[in-house]
Copies of this chain bind each other. A is one copy, B any other.
């Protein structure tokens, strides 16, 4: 599949608390932004297939076709917990690489706030695990204390992730939170689940994003600066497999990144920039290790040493990541692809990273019953 698929357009809507926008408005806006981003233009009637990524139940191809007018073509829907967006993109890539379609659009979307109190609240009421306090903050908080115990990281290390990502988000027009926070603010914030305070947790955010792909050999028709899909990986894992290390690691991220590196013929050192799954500050530290950017147990050193800041050697989450940009679940992975697309084309504005040739996107998803995780990774190249 390597280099058979080109990304030729991408668009986001401004993420935030969007009570005033219907799902249809959000999907349509992302769709139009993606269409308009194609340098040489694309006629909507040229689009041959579509994939919708959303967590919300009972959404189908029709859900996406209705606001976009993408009727009379195949529209599929993929869900894979918080990895939904990257997995929808992955399934579309397979269809292009199989030669079945010349091009396709992937739209990720989530309305986390709605008239019923929002997706997160509903999840909390209905889910047997959530009712027993196995909420996401407690789940990831446990990973934090384990990492601190086993590898000597500190609450301050995690706080530095939040400070970095809020700094980046302040520079990124689509981010939900566009205000910096100081390390003192992060450390003094109310504790949600130790060691995670308020600013260590991503917000509840509505958003949508869209990406247009085509067969690599057709890319030049649409743009002089396409971006190519070098590698792709997905894996699932269980906490019940008896791997102690999994308390401070996400084996599915490791597996998925290994698959993507192998397909791309690249190594962790080749990644110039990443949009990686920082649902909580500690998650980003663990990602550094799982994705191979450092040895196991050394993740916190990368942030201590400033390696992953916007000006560092290997900037991570220049968009502000989930912590500042927000995490509208189905949109998150698609937005990451859009952001890396802009980075590799030198169009990322105030968050542009210098000299980037290879970028990574990465999601972790936690199984509904908290018994395992999903990891999904893509490697994009100029």
Contacts and interface: CB of A to CB of B under 8 A. Distances in A.
A75 B123 contact: no
A66 interface: yes
Given A66-B372, A76-B78, A367 B98 contact: no
A371 interface: yes
A58 B91 CA distance: 18
A109 to B, nearest CB: 14
Contact of A81 (B60, B81, B263): B60
How many copies of this kind of chain does the complex include? 2
Interface in A208-267: 232-238, 241, 251, 255-256, 259, 263
Report the interface size class on chain A.
35 or more
Contact of A57 (B58, B73, B78, B232): B58
A369 B60 CA distance: 10
A72 interface: yes
Nearest to A4: B98
A87 interface: yes
Contacts of A77: 78-80, 87
A95 interface: yes
A251 B71 CA distance: 10
Interface in A73-118: 73-81, 83, 87, 90-91, 93-95, 97-100
Interface of A: 1, 4, 55-63, 65-66, 70-81, 83, 87, 90-91, 93-95, 97-100, 123, 232-238, 241, 251, 255-256, 259, 263, 365-369, 371-374
27 contacts: A1-B99, A60-B79, A60-B80, A60-B81, A60-B367, A60-B374, A61-B81, A61-B367, A62-B368, A62-B369, A62-B371, A62-B372, A62-B373, A63-B367, A63-B368, A65-B237, A65-B372, A66-B367, A66-B369, A66-B371, A72-B235, A74-B236, A75-B374, A76-B78, A76-B91, A76-B234, A77-B79
